[in-house]
Structure 1
Amino acid sequence: MAELTEEIGQCDIRGFIPVDDLQRLPELDALICVSLRNDLPELSVLHWKLVPQRVVAGIGCRRDTPFPLLATLLARQLEAQKLDPLALKAIGSVTLKKGEPGLIQLASCCRVPFKTFTAEALREFEHHFPGSGFVRKTVGVGSVSGPAAWLLSQGQLLGETLREQGVTITLGVAH
């Protein structure tokens, strides 16, 4: 997978045969797939899938947004990008949300850290994203999910931001 090329170059892969196309496999006894993706094609060889934790989610939400809604929307956003939920590495938001029960429960359920950033830190990258006057007035920055994902991934964002029911979710890939 292209996102993992740098990491593969740092590994001792003696004894392994790198495979770029799962549809045209050489003769193998077994296969280890390292992928962030949730979908592998049907394979005729014994195989295992390893999922590196590299996906980050910046999340903005209204106060007291319920955990089930956050979990459903995060799952939908991961699915839209064909990402395995096990690839999630961290969830980020604005410092004002550090005690937000739904976000804390979401991070706990996903077994990932919940990282928060000051409005000032998010403001540095908000120009890359559409902003909201209401959000700016409430939290001090016009956009939360995009800048949080940007900071967690050093600007390596994936897909479009989900905006639904007062929740925004932006995904990125961290290194």
Structure 2
Amino acid sequence: MDIGIIALTKNGANLGYKLHKMMNYSSFYVKDKFYREGPNVISFTEKMKVLVKDIFKKHDCLIFIMATGIVVRSIAPFINDKKTDPAVLVMDERGTHVISLLSGHLGGANEYTHRVANLLGANPVITTASDVSGTIAVDTLAMKLNCKIEDFSEATKVTAHIVNEERVGIKSQIPIDFHLPKNIEVQQEKIDNSLKGLILITNKEEVNKPIDDTVVLRPKNLIVGIGCRRNKEYEKIQEALEESFRDLNLSTKSIRHFATVDVKKDEVGIKKLADKFERPLKIVAREKVKRVEDKFIGSDFVKKTIGVSCVCEPVAFLTSNKGNFIQRKRAFDGITIAIFKEGDKNWT
């Protein structure tokens, strides 16, 4: 993660240089009068608000070594949304306390706070209710499980039930291998209607919500293999994808990545699709496809054209960590789509 450290005073600068050397992928912004040459050390002369405007979106985490009031006034104009704001930490210049100020859960500020405190022997100051009470917030749960929250307003409601020690159910398609608070109860097929809240972890688009306060988390466990004719229009590929998902009642928010063969790595329509859904595009070498292509129905024409007899099924299979088919090859006009559910051993 990319970290920005900022200091204004002499003592703050000394602590900043120390922390900068201890952390990977960090940049240190220091007032010009305390500048010492070094890797990724940047001097500044402008006012704090001007500097913050320039760097607020450049880093995953910002660590300010100065008074909390200065930081609050400096970042206030640039705070937008907890889903996108960076983690913000504040330290006193003696390194006695480290405060998680902004984006404690989704931005990872709480975790950064503990990390910095451990490095410096400081006192971590965490104020989020779920952490103070030893429970877990829905957004923290989603982060741990690499899930996407469907509705943040519902997440807030369910988190309130958890923090207030009310009974909340959880029903999940994926394994949960860490301890849950005692008031979060695992549900099987039948859901207890007396629950105050419910967490559903599913890749299904349409779901039954028997509890009013229900939040849906989307696990990123679907692999989409794609093949297509050269220069196939992006819009047609998107239509094929969405039709496949709609017919299977699957959520596109659960796509972990797309996959195709190396000869299609520059196919504009496929690349644009991956960009549209903000998911990675994995490229599989034809030599790897050749090792498994006999497991799938192939085409002599495709074999003659690109050197392998099939694309969408083997590339999905090879990048799924021994997952299972949800949809075998489905052909559209010049497009093929296969969908795998990723193997549980690599679900995060």
1:106 aligns with 2:292: no
1:76 aligns with 2:243: yes
2:337 pairs with one of 157, 169, 172: 169
- How far is the alpha carbon of 1:45 from its aligned partner? 2.1
1:16 aligns with 2:148: no
1:160 pairs with one of 306, 325, 328: 328
Q: Extract unaligned runs of 5+ from structure 2.
A: 1-170
How many angstroms apart in 2 are the aligned matches of 1:43 and 1:90? 31
* RMSD of aligned residue pairs (Cα, Å): 1.6
Q: Which moved more, 1:42-51 or 1:64-73?
A: 42-51
2:194 pairs with one of 4, 7, 27: 27
How many angstroms apart in 1 are the aligned matches of 2:199 and 2:173? 17
1:121/1:3 CA distance change after superposition, 3 Å: farther
**Kept in 1: contact 2:313–2:328 (CA 8 A):** no
Which structure is richer in relative contact order (CA contacts within 8 A, separation 6 or more)?
1
- How far is the alpha carbon of 1:12 from its aligned partner? 1.7
Say which SS state the counterpart of residue 169 (structure 1) adopts: strand
How many angstroms apart in 1 are the aligned matches of 2:189 and 2:206? 14
**Kept in 2: contact 1:92–1:116 (CA 8 A):** yes
Question: Paired residue for 1:86?
Answer: 253
Can you list the C-alpha shifts for 1:78-119, whole angstroms capped at 9, x where unaligned? 122221110001110110111100000000001101111111
Say which SS state the counterpart of residue 51 (structure 1) adopts: strand
Say which SS state the counterpart of residue 89 (structure 1) adopts: strand
How many angstroms apart in 1 are the aligned matches of 2:259 and 2:185? 37
**Kept in 2: contact 1:32–1:49 (CA 8 A):** yes
How many angstroms apart in 1 are the aligned matches of 2:292 and 2:335? 19
Can you list the C-alpha shifts for 1:116-135, whole angstroms capped at 9, x where unaligned? 11111111111121111111
Normalised to the residue count of structure 1, the TM-score between the two structures is 0.91
1:31/1:44 CA distance change after superposition, 3 Å: closer
Can you list the C-alpha shifts for 1:22-75, whole angstroms capped at 9, x where unaligned? 5x4241111111111111124342110000111011111000011111001011
**Kept in 2: contact 1:28–1:45 (CA 8 A):** no
Say which SS state the counterpart of residue 106 (structure 1) adopts: helix
- How far is the alpha carbon of 1:162 from its aligned partner? 1.0
Question: Paired residue for 2:315?
Answer: 148
- % same residue: 25
How many angstroms apart in 2 are the aligned matches of 1:16 and 1:102? 44
How many angstroms apart in 1 are the aligned matches of 2:245 and 2:339? 8
1:3/1:139 CA distance change after superposition, 3 Å: farther
One-letter amino acid of the counterpart of residue 156, structure 1: N
Say which SS state the counterpart of residue 298 (structure 2) adopts: coil
One-letter amino acid of the counterpart of residue 301, structure 2: F
Q: Which moved more, 1:154-163 or 1:49-58?
A: 154-163
How many angstroms apart in 1 are the aligned matches of 2:291 and 2:244? 25
Say which SS state the counterpart of residue 60 (structure 1) adopts: strand
Question: Paired residue for 1:131?
Answer: 298
**Kept in 2: contact 1:57–1:149 (CA 8 A):** yes
Matched length: 171
Say which SS state the counterpart of residue 179 (structure 2) adopts: coil
1:66/1:39 CA distance change after superposition, 3 Å: same
One-letter amino acid of the counterpart of residue 157, structure 1: F
